[in-house]
Amino acid sequence: MDDIVISARGVSKCYRVFDNARAQIAHAMWPRSRSGMQEVWALRDIDLEVRRGESVAIIGRNGSGKSTLLEIITGTLTPTSGEARVNGRISALLELGSGFNPEYTGRDNAILNGLLLGATRQRVLERFERIAEFAEIGAAMDRPVKTYSSGMVARLAFAVQVALDPEILIVDEALSVGDFFFQQKCFRHIRELREKGVTILFVSHDMGVVRDLCKTGLFLRNGRIDYFGDNLEAIRRYLHQGNGNGNGTGAFAHDAAPDDAPPAAALAMDRPLWSDNARGTSGSGKGRILAVGVFDAAGRPTQRASIGEDLRFRVLFRSQSDEPLHVSVVLKNKHDQVVTVAGSYTLQAAPPRLEPNEEAFFELTLCPMLEAGDYSFSVSLGQATAVGAGSVVDETPWLGPLKVAWDYASHVPPFYGMVGLRCEGRFVVPRHRAHP
């Protein structure tokens, strides 16, 4: 029984909705009065058991009871009937920063939030460096929270929750805020907690996230459990219900470019996405990446492409020895998963023999047959030491995001899912048919 960390038995929740104040007063004075009152059942007869270390996605249409169930499990809401039991320390990300006092500093709010989570003041202070490091808001930690952007609030709130080593992590659409790279960091950390055996309840309308983070799915329909079991089957039922949210980013439009925009070859690296100015021109090692640019088919700098439209990565690098150097591009999705690694090594393009301090370009044309969404990338310079093995000489930080777009509402995409594969299809009709 100790293996069961969350259990619900016959949990139901009913909200009373009154037509007007008079009806509400009448019901308060005479509880049997039902005039002008409606009963809205958010949950009905929920029976649920979650085992230690299990990752469960709770999915369903808006109004299906997902948030209500989480609030009952966390104890912030009392069920109308039934009971829910929890065996473990909970960190609940229901609404990031909802308990922060805007007049207090980020430091004070972090300590107060930790105390509200059940930690001692000493424990919060011991973990404060971890909180500050994860939040990455710098000197703003000692400024009032009312001066924070919504992204900064999200950073601090998430950092407090995860730095206190929860046994059960509950997330309700809380990671939809914050910048792209912080979201990647959060998803990476959630996966690390999952690997450590932390029990996870995760609510999201993004089926890509659900598929990535969870193994078990709970599909709620009209306040009742429609399915509880394999995550992929839960997703299939949810999408079959007609509520699948595509990851499309709307109609695609290229970045505007002046009419006299020169071709890519003439641009060289005048307008790079990233350059190595901070490190200067000198350095140690066998090679150095100097600049990276991303261009569309017309040679215009861009960070957008429609599904199936070429992106051209242009890398300027310097050799600091006479040994051959390979260039690779690593692409990650918003869940911090590596989507692909491509470059001179995988293309079996022999690198040129360069003199020390000689510079060269590497160009990679990539066709993103990927589901619409945001992606980050990094460029590395390395040497092959054996088949499938090598050493990294230099690399860039994670850059982007690159946006892959598609208007799913108006156009049929070339594929559905995470990635498009090369395929062919045809219909065959027999020439001779038997006639009745």
* 209-240 per-position pLDDT tens digit: 888 889 999 999 999 999 999 988 888 888 76
> Using CA atoms, how far apart are residues 31 and 11, in angstroms rounded to an integer?
23
Extract long-range pairs of 415-422: CB within 8 Å, 24+ residues apart.
415/369, 416/371, 417/371, 418/208, 418/333, 418/339, 418/370, 418/371, 419/339, 419/369, 419/370, 419/371, 420/307, 420/308, 420/369, 420/370, 421/369
Under a CB-based contact definition with an 8 Å cutoff, are residues 251 and 409 in contact?
no
Radius of gyration of the chain (CA): 27
Residue written as tokens 């995760």?
202
Q: How many CA atoms lie within 13 A of 309 on its CB side?
A: 21
Q: What's residue 181's pLDDT?
A: 81
For 246, half-sphere exposure in the C-beta direction (CA atoms, 13 angstrom radius) is 18
Mean pLDDT of 382-398: 83
Give yes or no on whether 4-243 and 264-405 have one common fold. no
Check residue 275 and give its pLDDT.
86
Bridge partners of residue 311, in order along the sequence = 366
* C-beta of residue 287 within 8 angstroms of C-beta of residue 317: yes
The DSSP-derived string for 217-267 is EEEEETTEEEEEEEHHHHHHHHIIIII------SS--PPP--TTPPPHHHH
- Find the length of the chain: 436
Q: Among the CATH numbers 3.30.565.10, 3.20.19.10, 3.40.50.300, 3.20.20.70, which is that of 4-243? A: 3.40.50.300
159 in helix, strand or coil? helix
pLDDT tens for 40-99 read: 899 999 999 999 999 999 999 888 999 899 989 988 899 999 999 999 888 777 765 567
The DSSP secondary structure of 298-352, one letter per residue, reads TS-B-SEEETT--EEEEEEEEESSSS--EEEEEEEETTS-EEEEEETTTTTPPPP
Q: Which of 140-149, 165-174, 195-204, 331-340 has the lowest mean pLDDT?
A: 165-174
411 Cβ contact partners less than 8 Å away, ≥ 6 residues apart? none
- What number is the average pLDDT over the span 135-147? 91
> How is the chain split into domains, by residue range?
4-243, 264-405
Task: Examine the pLDDT at 320 and tell me if it is beyond 70.
Answer: yes
Pick the CATH number of 264-405 from 2.70.50.60, 3.30.70.3340, 3.40.50.150, 2.60.40.10: 2.70.50.60
Phi, psi of 418 (to 5 degrees): -80, -35
Lowest mean pLDDT among 81-85, 181-185, 341-345, 422-426: 181-185
β-strand pairing of 359-366 with 389-395: unpaired
Residue 435: pLDDT band by 50, 70, 90 thresholds? low
Confidence class for position 380, pLDDT limits 50, 70, 90: very high
DSSP 139: G
Predicted confidence (pLDDT) at residue 19 exceeds the cutoff of 90: no
Determine the pLDDT at residue 388: 64
pLDDT of residue 175: 65
For residue 100 the two structure tokens come to 């922060």
Residue 210, burial from CB neighbour count under 10 angstroms (0-12, 13-18, 19+): buried
User: 343 and 328 in contact (C-beta within 8 Å)?
Assistant: yes
- The answer to whether residue 362 scores a pLDDT higher than 80 is yes
* pLDDT(314) > 70: yes
pLDDT of residue 258: 36
pLDDT of the residue at 254:
33
pLDDT of residue 436: 58
pLDDT band at residue 5 using 50, 70 and 90 as cut-offs: very high
Tokens of 328: 């690779």
Residue whose tokens read 């958010």: 42
Instruction: Please give the distance of CA 380 from its chain centroid, rounded to a whole number.
Output: 24
pLDDT tens per residue across span 271-307: 788 988 755 444 448 899 999 999 998 888 999 999 9
Which range is least confidently modeled, 40-49, 258-267, 371-380? 258-267
What is the arithmetic mean of pLDDT over 171-198? 80
**Half-sphere exposure (CA, 13 Å, Cβ side) for 85?**
11
Residue 347 has φ and ψ, to the nearest 5°, of -85, -5
| pLDDT at residue 250, rounded to an integer | 31
pLDDT score recorded for residue 178: 59
Taking the C-alpha atoms of residue 73 and residue 171, their distance in angstroms, rounded to an integer, is: 12
Per-residue pLDDT band at 186 (split at 50, 70, 90) = confident
Confidence bin at 132 (pLDDT 50/70/90): very high
Measured in whole angstroms, how far is the alpha carbon of residue 58 from the centre of its chain?
16
The confidence band for 342, taking pLDDT boundaries of 50, 70 and 90, is: very high
* pLDDT averaged over every residue in the chain: 83
Instruction: Give the pLDDT confidence score for residue 98 in this predicted structure.
Output: 63
Average pLDDT of the residues in 151-178: 80
pLDDT score recorded for residue 279:
55
